[in-house]
Structure 1
């Protein structure tokens, strides 16, 4: 293929790569270990709903029933919500709606790669504010950058992926006051943090856009159900570029049922938080290892030596973690999804043995 056929902004673009998986215990993608279909009443409701399911019919373009269910869960109006195939698609739609070539987005770093990658494909420029020591966000630096550059989109991942750091809603409100343009807050992991969401601020700040997902705490990563909440005019604008039938009918059928069973599902979330705290306490005891406090279902770990050896030893135990190779921002680091106690204990055994 001739490279000149490509759009200029993607000629040298490196896509987000997901390697093939062979391991039994996959704790590299922050998935929830809990299968919601193991809840008998939920499974019964789904089977009953399948009697009305017609796969030959196109799904509702705006996922009306799901929007109503999400509105009831979040306290927003249905017209303030737009749904899609996971958070990744919603990030793509948001940036694609508002970024022109040459525009700027502001991110703190390290953070989720898809913000910068999405902006890069559109010909936008990314301004970065590096974290402080210990991977705490530089709040003063972020505010100064917003005021100085007034980026088209300011991105705040909260809690942050991959560090687990949480910013208070009061700080995000400071950013909203300082920004003339959009402030995009990714709250994919907020259910694990169980802290103050900025969703209620949507009524007060028309430049606020919040991303949420059912992939993490609700265990629907395979169903691909993410959503944006914002002022109705922003939602309507994003709807201009949304594919007509972007969210499949089965997800639209299943997700509202899951939301009705959120009490049972979020009890599992509570168990994951307890196990995260236990795993953190055990990792802290291992010499030559640094583990960072987290408000999510994962932990960021750095080692002083034997970086690749530990990764290979984990793979030998059939455990796959997220490894950061040749990373100036995250040297000798792993991101570890919190899972069941037996898998976490096997992981601890590897770290203890390799770093002893």
Structure 2
């Protein structure tokens, strides 16, 4: 990697047209507070639970979340899943047909999809055989066009945390944005990189309500970054990107953190048990370490095992065609009953 560079103002990294554009201002952006009569947003005046537009910036949710994450609410972006934040980051900071993102393969597929949709080049660099960052490979991969590095930790589909020291080294030396996707961080022992936001103004951290919080159906993703970066995302997002019901249910969840913590403890317990059971199977060649709510396991014939489980009404992910994941299945940790049924089925394969 090159020597450490002085990070410019974040505005120097933003696309010029995004920096100078005038954002859309919704009715609820222009008015703050409470009123008795609302005649500003062309809504149906007859009361139902959802006849009014939602708060476009979700301040009630952000205030509750900020207290839990120990961060300023202005450093939080909430989106329609983490995918919205991924897409907006690429749109805001990468010039189409000119700039690039860097990904470490194997990793979450939506980084590449969002880049390709936005006509942004993808620069892949392989992880090491044990699925960690290969610092020596980075200088040969990114160049002056690279605007964002995406690092998934714990990584999907491998399940492991990337080395914290190596991530910090990337943060110290890379000129553009470093996005750390922590969708599975609640299942890991390592602390979140949210604590490092003040130290690295080019750092962005993604988390989600889909995994530990058990709210995948709501599609609510979290993005934590400097106020400058969050203001850019708010500038280009659609006005009412998170609906009222999602905001209400997210608030309910945030007011009952103990439920999420109990789920996480049980899932980690079941993960350990499931890994031991998988290791005993005759078809298993390797069970990889996991810091997430799923397990990557190499078997003798992954496509055949996948098809067999499918015929037994058990669905896992066949990752055998993914880079470095030859003959691997990705298995989500289920309930004790679901895990037992999976093992019994594989024992008969």
Normalising by structure 2, report the TM-score.
0.82
Alpha-carbon contact 1:150-1:180 (below 8 Å) kept: no
- Cα distance in 1 for partners of 2:182, 2:137 equals 18
Return the match for 1:249 from 234, 244, 259: 244
Alpha-carbon contact 2:300-2:327 (below 8 Å) kept: yes
| Mapping for residues 2-41 of structure 1, pairs under 5 Å | none
Query: How far has the Cα of 1:148 moved from its partner?
Result: 5.4
Alpha-carbon contact 1:150-1:179 (below 8 Å) kept: no
1:27 corresponds in structure 2 to none
Q: Which has the higher helix share?
A: 1
What secondary structure, in the 3-state scheme, does the structure 2 residue paired with 1:167 have?
coil
What secondary structure, in the 3-state scheme, does the structure 1 residue paired with 2:146 have?
coil
Query: How far has the Cα of 1:327 moved from its partner?
Result: 4.0
The question of 1:153 aligning with 2:119 is answered no
Q: Quickly say closer, same or farther: Cα 1:145–1:63, change in 2 above 3 A.
A: farther
- Cα distance in 2 for partners of 1:330, 1:285 equals 20
1:298 corresponds in structure 2 to 294
- Cα distance in 2 for partners of 1:251, 1:185 equals 24
The question of 1:180 aligning with 2:175 is answered yes
2:110 corresponds in structure 1 to 114
What secondary structure, in the 3-state scheme, does the structure 2 residue paired with 1:152 have?
strand
* Structure 2 residues not aligned, in runs of 5+: 1-46
Query: How far has the Cα of 1:308 moved from its partner?
Result: 3.0
Alpha-carbon contact 1:106-1:127 (below 8 Å) kept: yes
* Structure 1 residues not aligned, in runs of 5+: 1-51
What secondary structure, in the 3-state scheme, does the structure 2 residue paired with 1:334 have?
strand
Alpha-carbon contact 1:184-1:208 (below 8 Å) kept: yes
| Mapping for residues 63-212 of structure 1, pairs under 5 Å | 63-101=58-96, 102-134=98-130, 136-141=131-136, 143-145=138-140, 151-212=146-207
User: Over alpha carbons, which structure has the higher Rg?
Assistant: 2
- Cα distance in 2 for partners of 1:310, 1:147 equals 38
Q: Which has the higher contact order (CA 8 A, sep 6+)?
A: 1
What secondary structure, in the 3-state scheme, does the structure 1 residue paired with 2:222 have?
strand
What secondary structure, in the 3-state scheme, does the structure 2 residue paired with 1:127 have?
strand
1:347 corresponds in structure 2 to 342
What secondary structure, in the 3-state scheme, does the structure 2 residue paired with 1:320 have?
coil
Alpha-carbon contact 2:186-2:212 (below 8 Å) kept: yes
1:58 corresponds in structure 2 to 53
* Equivalent residue pairs, number: 301
Alpha-carbon contact 1:111-1:162 (below 8 Å) kept: yes
